[in-house]
Amino acid sequence: MTDAPDNPAESGEQSREEKRERRMRAFKRAVLASFAVFLLSVLLYGAYDYTYICRIRLPSGTTVVDAKAVRTHAALYDYFFPATGLVGIHGGTPAPKPPNKYVLKLQPYLTYRHYIVPEGATEIGMGAFSHKEQLRTVRMPDTVTKINESAFSRCPELRKIVMSDSVTEICQGAFSLCAKLEDIRLPDNLKIIGESTFVGCSSLRELEISEGIEEIGYAAFSVTGLVRVRILDGTRPLKLHANTFSGCRDLREAEISGRVDDLVWTMFDGCASLEKVVLHDGVRYIHDTFGGSPKLREINIPDSVVYIAKRAFAGCTALEEIVIPAGAVSGMHINDEMFSGCTALKKVVLQEGVIGIDKKAFSGCTALEEVVLPDTLTEIREKAFENCTSLKKIAIPPQVTEIGPCAFAGCTALADIELPPGVNIAPNAFEGTAIPPEKKSPPIQPQP
């Protein structure tokens, strides 16, 4: 038999103490289990939902992170991935790493201010950083070669992108509508800039396009805040698509390399502040490139130009002087309405090679005082100089055989004209001018 306790009260106290210890141990086990589940969920599913974590640094052994692990983070602003070993960041089932290719993909609910792309990433995936409202800076390693569609689109706070020179392609809309993006240097090895890549980047001010770039897509820099643009010389041809800089209302100066063979349609359409354009030798085709640039006052046409399209400079109301080059090939025409409405244009020099002045080419150039026509000219067509009210005299070259209807109609100050023998003049070619009747007919051609 066991001895009965001397003090029953003491026995009861020990029993209660033992129960308390058992409950405490059970509580600790439950806490540890809960904490283990919590840690596991960090890398599996939504562990940090609705928390106030500001910075996360993953260990170097991490290989896969489900994007839901850090979703809905209003406070998260720094996110550092391991330097090596990370296979992917995604919202679905982990996929094996493709050979020699690591595409970075992030989900919309990841938010942070400063991001360093991990070493080993070769591409920034489509929409990877799109709509990241807190993102301010991004730095990429030398391993990244391609930035895919809409990768950084609609990041309203994005200010700075550091790309390595290994990037060769930036795809459609990659940085579109990043209104505060102001600091970006295009990589030296960049070859392709896609459609609408920087459209709507209203804080972008200076741009230097490197000599290695081979193609710039439609509206690539449209509606940006650019003030100056330089396309550098190089050995490779550069293909431009329409509306390259259209709608850049602050753009004042542009320098275009001679490796740009073709200045495309509406390239500077709506560039209301454009004042000066420097074209290097090598540019051959000018389309409806500068129409509607009311402040354009200075532009050179290089000798390499062989074609200028209709309305190429129409409405450039600040343009005062233009020289069409001697190097233009035989057969070049000053096309319809090319300079119509250039109300500040005072002097036009058309050098050898130009053979025709087409319909309304200089119509409405009310300040035009001096026109120098080349000996190669053979035809002045309908309304070519209509309503050039400041033009007082003009000499028609000897090879001209046709002056079309209303060619000089409304030139109210025109009183002195030299006509070659044998030129065919439409009946109303000089209607409304001050030319005496006896001078409106060509001199009699001498008999051989």
**Nearest residue to 228 (alpha-carbon basis) of 170, 292, 275:** 275
Cα angle: 170, vertex 171, 172; to 5 degrees: 135
Written as tens digits, the pLDDT of the chain (448 aa) is: 445 555 655 666 677 778 788 878 877 777 776 666 555 554 444 444 434 444 455 555 544 444 444 444 444 434 444 434 333 333 333 334 444 445 555 544 455 688 888 888 888 988 888 988 889 999 999 999 999 999 999 999 999 999 989 999 999 999 999 999 998 889 989 999 999 999 999 999 999 988 889 999 999 999 999 999 999 888 889 999 999 999 999 999 999 988 899 998 889 988 999 999 999 999 999 988 887 789 999 999 988 888 888 888 998 999 998 888 765 555 688 999 999 999 999 999 998 888 999 999 999 999 999 999 999 999 999 999 999 999 999 999 999 999 999 999 999 999 999 999 989 999 899 999 999 988 888 776 555 5
Q: Which residues of 156-193 are buried (b: 16+ CB within 10 A; e: fewer)?
A: eebbebebbebbbbbbbbbbbbbbbbbebebbeebebb
Phi first, then psi, for residue 27 (nearest 5°) are: -65, -40
Phi first, then psi, for residue 136 (nearest 5°) are: -120, -40
Helix (H) or strand (E) holding 402: strand 402-403
Structure tokens at 151: 């990768």
DSSP 208-232: EE-TT--EE-TTTTTT---SEEEE-
Residue with tokens 């044998």: 422
Distance between CA atoms of residues 283 and 175, nearest Å: 29
Residues 6+ apart with CB under 8 A from 375: 352, 397, 398, 399
SS3 437: helix
CA distances (Å), 180 to each of 140, 149, 206, 229, 326, in order? 19, 19, 14, 18, 45
pLDDT at position 173: 97
Domains located in the chain, CATH noted: 320-448 (3.80.10.10)
Q: Positive or negative CA dihedral for 374, 376, 380, 384?
A: negative
pLDDT at position 74: 40
Q: Positive or negative CA dihedral for 157, 160, 164, 167?
A: positive
Structure tokens at 384: 């070519």
Residue with tokens 């209301």: 272
pLDDT at position 220: 97
CB pairs under 8 A, 24+ apart, for 430-433?
A: 431/406, 433/408, 433/409
SS3 123: strand
SS3 13: helix
